[in-house]
Structure 1
Amino acid sequence: MPPKRPVPRRGRPGYDQATVLRIAVDVFNRHGYEATSMGVLADNLGISKSAIYHHVPSKGDLLRLALDHALSGLEGILTESGASSGRADDRLEFVLRRTVAVLTERLPFVTLLLRLRGNTEVEREALERRRTFDHTIAGLVDAARTEGSVRSDIDPRTTTRLLFGTINSIVEWYKPGGPLSPEKLADDVITMVFDGLHLPAAARIS
């Protein structure tokens, strides 16, 4: 019996949905989602527009897949034991540290999420999921204030906004593979958030 002939790949050889999605996210981030047509995507992929439809039904489906990849990583943090047990400040530190880890692991996808404008139903659904995640972190900040483990003299809304601003800004400047590892980045963020810039008195030069 002759061996079965391999089934040819659809689209450009070596491309699968994950590869198409990764390249599409890079293009969305460079040009903006709305300004990116299927023709632009096809040019960047080096395949025809019809070949893209072998992988996804539409540009909107690419966006949905990309945003779900970012959000599922963030939402997954809240199901981990470190996010649900222990002192509130310990849980807050755990969630912030893991958020930095997910952001660096899925940097292009989280970048796309943070740049959404809410112009489509897909974007609005993603923004609602993101708000739910943000509210959970805000709740941890409030719980830590209540238990007396973090300072209460700063307006809680200011604290929450500064936390989000600090972590979200990472997508604009962090370079994966550079001298700053994701682990060291997370350590630095946690130190800045909980200890600030002042040296402990014992470590200061008199």
Structure 2
Amino acid sequence: MTTAAKRDTYTPQTLLAVAVEVFNERGYDGTSMEHLSKAAGISKSSIYHHVRGKEELLRRSVSHALDGLFAVLEEPAAREGRAVDRLEHVTRRTALVLMERLPYVTLLLRVRGNTDAERWALERRREFDQRVAELLRQAVAEGDLRADIDVRLATRLLFGMINSIAEWYRPQRRDTAAAEDVAEAVVRTAFAGLRLPPTS
């Protein structure tokens, strides 16, 4: 394939997919435009045709992850009904989004706040966490979750379980469970400890 043909078939989406792969492999700080150019098989000037630089690629990448997570909060099952049911839905769907957008969420989980894009991403992550924590508080207030567990601690443990999926989930491996089964296991494991036992 000629360089011209490559340029013709390259899109912002395919460039983003390559950038996320390189960022995850080398780390954002360890990635140069030269690395991105080689991985994409196009010139640096072709990359600059699509974006201003690697920080814009980072922002677009983490935005893809964040957009998926925040969309979960707008789903009807996350907005209607008892808080505990909404929280279970958000937990299940958050795990699914992580697996559906695995490279992008993995990158999001690795940002450290060294650039404007990273600080923006961390702030958005905190906002998402706070909204989930508020659901947990409501579920406790409605009497569906244990009141003897610190809400902030429970929220961190819940996200710790979900986020750990990024470290081991590999959909291309034959022994990897289906995404739906993984998400259901997260919900059952977490809420077995969070829900109040039924009264006799």
| Common topology (TM > 0.5) | yes
The correspondence for 2:87, drawn from 72, 86, 92, is: 92
Deviation at 1:13, TM superposition (A): 4.5
In structure 2, runs of 5+ residues without a counterpart are none
Task: Tell whether the 8 Å contact from 1:11 to 1:51 is kept in structure 2 after alignment.
Answer: no
**TM-score by structure 1 length?**
0.87
Partner-residue secondary structure (3-state), 2:49: coil
Shift, 1:148, TM fit: 1.1
Q: Structure 1 residue 168 and structure 2 residue 163: aligned?
A: yes
Counterpart amino acid of residue 194 in structure 1: F
The root-mean-square deviation of aligned C-alpha atoms, in Å, is: 1.7
Count of aligned residue pairs for this structure pair:
190
**Which structure has more helix as a fraction of its residues?**
2
| 1:186 equivalent in structure 2 | 183
- Aligned partners of 1:11 and 1:54 also within 8 Å: no
The aligned residue for residue 137 of structure 1 is 132
Specify which of 2, 8, 29 is matched with residue 34 of structure 1. Answer: 29
Q: Secondary structure at the match of 1:47?
A: coil
Q: Do residues 47 (structure 1) and 36 (structure 2) align? A: no
* Preserved contact between residue 101 and residue 183 of structure 1 (Cα < 8 Å): yes
2:96 matched to which residue of 1? 101
Q: Could you say which structure has the larger radius of gyration?
A: 1
- The 1-side partners of 2:11 and 2:86 are apart by 38
Q: Does 1:195 align with 2:192?
A: yes
Q: Deviations for 1:48-96, whole angstroms, at most 9, x for unmatched residues?
A: 2112112222111111111111111111111111111101110000001
Mapped partners of 2:4, 2:74: distance in 1: 37
Structure 1 runs not aligned, ≥5 long: 1-7, 201-206
Task: Kindly report structure 1 stretches of 4+ aligned residues shifted beyond 3 Å.
Answer: 8-13
Distance in 2 of aligned mates of 1:161 and 1:119: 23
Letter in 2 for 1:195: A
Provide Cα deviations, 1:146-190, integer angstroms capped at 9, x if missing partner. 111111222222211100100011111101244311100111001
